[in-house]
Homo-oligomer: A and B are copies of this chain.
């Protein structure tokens, strides 16, 4: 087993990647004004999952889980809103 702090650093890197990954998708929809290929079901269920991760983070008192999931939730909502707007393309 690796030391706990190494695991926590990996967790923080993991959370940063999964959160930051949403930014290029958001920018792409915003730039192209098209979201025909985006699944609204995906980002709805994904958003609910992120909300539950946020509740989980609060309940176990993990600041890393709270911060990364709060940011992910905002990004997922923004993607969902833009995707609804541009679902049928420009």
Contacts and interface: CB of A to CB of B under 8 A. Distances in A.
Which of A6, A37, A60 is packed against the most chain B CB atoms within 10 Å?
A37
Please classify how large the interface on chain A is, using the bins under 10, 10 to 19, 20 to 34, 35 or more: 35 or more
21 contacts: A10-B55, A14-B52, A15-B53, A16-B49, A17-B45, A17-B48, A18-B45, A18-B50, A18-B53, A20-B45, A21-B45, A21-B46, A24-B42, A24-B45, A25-B41, A27-B39, A28-B37, A28-B39, A29-B37, A32-B36, A34-B36
Interface of A: 1-2, 4, 6-7, 10-11, 13-22, 24-25, 27-29, 32, 34-39, 41-46, 48-50, 52-53, 55-56, 59-61
